[in-house]
Structure 1
Amino acid sequence: MAINFLQNGTIMDRLDAMATLLSVVETGSFSAASRKLRVPVTTVSRRVAELEAHLRTQLLQRTTRKVTLTDAGAPYVLVCRKVLEQIGEAERNAAGEYQSPRGELTVTAPLVFGRMHLVPIIAEFMAQFVDVRLNCRFHDRNLDLQDEGIDIAIRVGPLPDSRWRARRIGAIRRVVCASPDYLARRGEPRALADLEAHDCVGFHGFDPKGNWLFPSPDGASAIPIHSRITFDTIDSAIDAGIAGIGLIRVLSYHVRPAIRSGLLREVLAEFAPPEMPVQIIHRHDELVPLKVRAFIDFVMPRLQTALAL
């Protein structure tokens, strides 16, 4: 019987059941939890059912579309999460993560930022800290540190969540630039109204409805642009700008190497929106593993240099 499984089983059985329940809650379905845990759906369903039988209460409300917590399940899941976090902390302590930098470190950052700035630094870090293994997840969507098991994240913009410790690296801004060849042929725009007479390179990520947004006394002004070509990747848009096709609008760190080398030149700087902070964050644990401290201390001064104009 299911109730005997948990009553007479090991502590590991109980912990497996708790971890499975958390996966179902975090992913939103039994099938998604199955994929995350890499076990059959029947195993996921059985573990949750055995846990509910052991507790003599229903933890999840199941429908054809989603899984939600019951009134009894919500506080139980909070306790399960805390228990599993404390066990993980104890294991990391026992494994020596608090005595020397070692173990796996999961880091996330925006896609282009990670490729341009973090990868070269990571190569140096790994050469110095040989007992640390890195799992890098570069995405343009913000991954949840808790749910995704992220140790460290690089974030651009204000932080809506105060659960994490944050340290400021620098700031970035939106910039308009073009190649010196294009500006020599077409002239340099001096005012936003001048954009109407210029060819622009569109990028789907920054150009809602074919407009570029700039600050104004009323909040923001949508300036129509003439895009002869539009891309869905930032690298392609930058290459087009360097090739002299037209003006491009990207984030400053995207084009800093090209501006420094003279391949691109910034224009309309006085109309740029306010800067956005770049911060490095990590989970707010009382005892921070040395691998986390070592990584932050190593990358911060190097990223600050990379972001400096």
Structure 2
Amino acid sequence: MDRIDAMRVFVAAVDEGSLAGAARRMRRSAAAVSRAIAFLEGHVGAALLHRTTRSLHLSEAGERYAIACRRVLTELDEADMLAAGERSAPRGLLTVTAPVAAGENVLGPIVAGFMDAYPEVSVRLNMIDHPVSLIDEGMDLALRISHLADSALVATRVGEVRRVVAASPRYLESHPAIEQPSDLARHAIVAMTHFGLETWSFPPVPGSAVPRTVSFTPRLVVNTIRAAAAAAVEGRGVTRLFSYHIAAELAAGSLKVILDRDEHEPVPVHLIAPPGRLSVPKVRAFADYAVPRLRAHFAQLCPPPLKSL
């Protein structure tokens, strides 16, 4: 049996979460998928998957082997593309990852337009709210909303977002004025994990180097951006999110940004790729298509805070 082909079957099983899913994706029989996995397990001398009637899980050896397989398969695909040179039109499977909200609201429509423009390219958009290793997971590109650590990754800046505090006009009209961060301690807070469940930090006052911290007992704790935004629109309290999370609500007037003179510096947004990956036609085509659209989108999401006007 061809080991490279068996690796593709193994990675498909891991991605789909089942042998039946791998069989559908690879258009093979379940027996053929099982034989490919058994071949690899015999080759490496260890169980790669723990299988039950309903699911499968990677063994410790399987986790390491899956990372290695993704890297090998990605490099092989890149070698094929590079060997074809300029004669090769964008084609094949493009894998992209992004935070959930950015993937649904920002990148998703761009991906749809790209697929219309490049019918020979299929896309797997992996939306998850924590960074993944592009190299270990075999990803082509990622949309990152954070300050990037120094690395070998190739980063193209496409915009920035503000970390804003917001509430509904109805809430603000019926509660004490919020003129400085310390006023928040007297208000109902709608909190979520990524932005602080019990404290929010703010930049130091002029002349100080110590950030300000506001402690609170949240009135409502949620674990999704949509839930936090919806609760704030309903007047349940004050919440903190990125500006792009509530761009529609701000435009509609159902939420209002407060304390904009006390915001942290904006958080940069980048499209990143592993070194060398942009030379692959499908990846280069997507970057060329997505970058100007991402820049246009993030530029219009939310006006700058008052302190920079």
TM-score range, shorter chain: 0.7 to 0.9
Q: Deviations over 1:277-305 (max 9, x none)?
A: 11001121176122212211222222212
Task: Give TM-score, length-normalised by structure 2.
Answer: 0.74
| Percent identity of paired positions between Structure 1 and Structure 2 | 34
- TM-score, reference length from structure 1: 0.74
The AA in structure 2 aligned to 1:90 is A
- Find the partner of 1:267 among 258, 261, 271: 258
Q: Determine the C-alpha separation between the residues in 2 that align with 1:81 and 1:260.
A: 43
Supply the distance in 2 between the matched residues of 1:126 and 1:105 (Cα, whole angstroms): 10
Contact 2:74 2:138 in 1 (8 A): no
- Look up the SS of the partner of 2:240 in the other structure: strand
What is residue 278 of structure 1 aligned with on the other side? 269
Where does residue 44 of structure 2 map in the other structure? 48
Quick one: which amino acid aligns to residue 171 of structure 1? E
AA at the equivalent of 2:43 = R
Checking the alignment, whether the CA contact within 8 Å between 2:167 and 2:238 is kept in structure 1 is: yes
Q: Give the distance between the partners of 1:249 and 1:147, measured in 2 at CA.
A: 33
Say if 1:184 and 1:85 are closer, same or farther in 2 by CA, change over 3 A: closer
* CA deviation vs aligned residue, 1:22-78 (integer Å, no higher than 9, x gap): 98xxx9xxxx9x99996577544321249xxxxxxxxxxxxxx9559xxxxxxxx99
CA shift digits 1:118-161 (9 cap, x unpaired)? 11222222222222111110100112111211111001112225
Q: Structure 2 vs 1, CA of residues 268 and 83 (structure 1 numbering), >3 Å: closer, same or farther? A: closer
Please say if residues 277 and 283 of structure 2, whose CA atoms lie closer than 8 Å, have aligned partners that are also in contact: no
Contact 2:106-2:297 within 8 A present in 1 as well: yes
Q: Provide the rounded CA distance (Å) in 2 between the counterparts of 1:196 and 1:252.
A: 22
Query: In the superposition, relative to structure 1, how do residues 185 and 286 fare at CA in structure 2: closer, same or farther (>3 Å)?
Result: closer
From 208, 221, 225, the counterpart of 1:230: 221
Q: In 1, Cα distance between the equivalents of 2:71 and 2:194?
A: 38
Amino acid at match of 2:130: R
SS of aligned partner of 2:76:
helix
The reply to whether residue 90 of structure 1 matches residue 79 of structure 2 is yes
Deviating more after overlay: 299-308 vs 230-239? 299-308
- What is the aligned counterpart of 1:290 among 281, 285, 292? 281
The answer to which of 81-90 and 195-204 deviates more is: 81-90
How many Å apart are 1:95 and its aligned residue? Answer: 7.0
The 2-side partners of 1:240 and 1:82 are apart by: 43
Give the corresponding residue for 2:49. Answer: none
Q: 1:190 is matched with which residue?
A: 179
Q: Deviations over 1:195-247 (max 9, x none)?
A: 12221112133224x11122234543331224222111111010011111111
The farther-off stretch of 141-150 and 223-232 is: 223-232
| Matched position secondary structure for 1:143 | coil
Looking at structure 2, the residues matched to 230 and 288 of structure 1 have their Cα atoms a distance apart, in angstroms, of 45
Partner of 1:118, secondary structure, is helix
Q: Does 1:213 align with 2:209?
A: no
Aligned ranges 1:66-215 → 2 under 5 Å: 86-93=75-82, 99-208=88-197, 210-215=198-203
Q: Which residue of 2 aligns with 1:62?
A: none
- CA change 1:124–1:235 in 2 (3 A) is same
Structure 2, unpaired ranges of 5+ = 23-32, 47-58, 304-309
SS across alignment from 1:123: helix
| Secondary structure of residue in 2 paired with 1:186 | coil
The alpha carbon displacement at 1:248 in A equals 0.8
- The alignment partner of 2:154 has SS state of strand
Distance 2:143 2:105 in 1: 13
Q: Is the 8 A contact 1:101 1:129 kept in 2?
A: yes
- Give the 3-state SS of the residue equivalent to 1:227 in structure 2: coil
Q: How many angstroms apart in 1 are the aligned matches of 2:87 and 2:285?
A: 11
Residue 244, structure 1, aligned to residue 227, structure 2:
no
One-letter amino acid of the counterpart of residue 130, structure 1 = P
Q: Name the count of aligned residue pairs.
A: 268
Is this contact kept in 2: 1:174–1:250, CA < 8 A? Answer: yes
State the alpha-carbon separation in 1 of the partners of residues 177 and 290 from structure 2.
Answer: 37
Q: Which residue of 2 aligns with 1:55?
A: none
Q: SS of the counterpart of 1:259?
A: helix
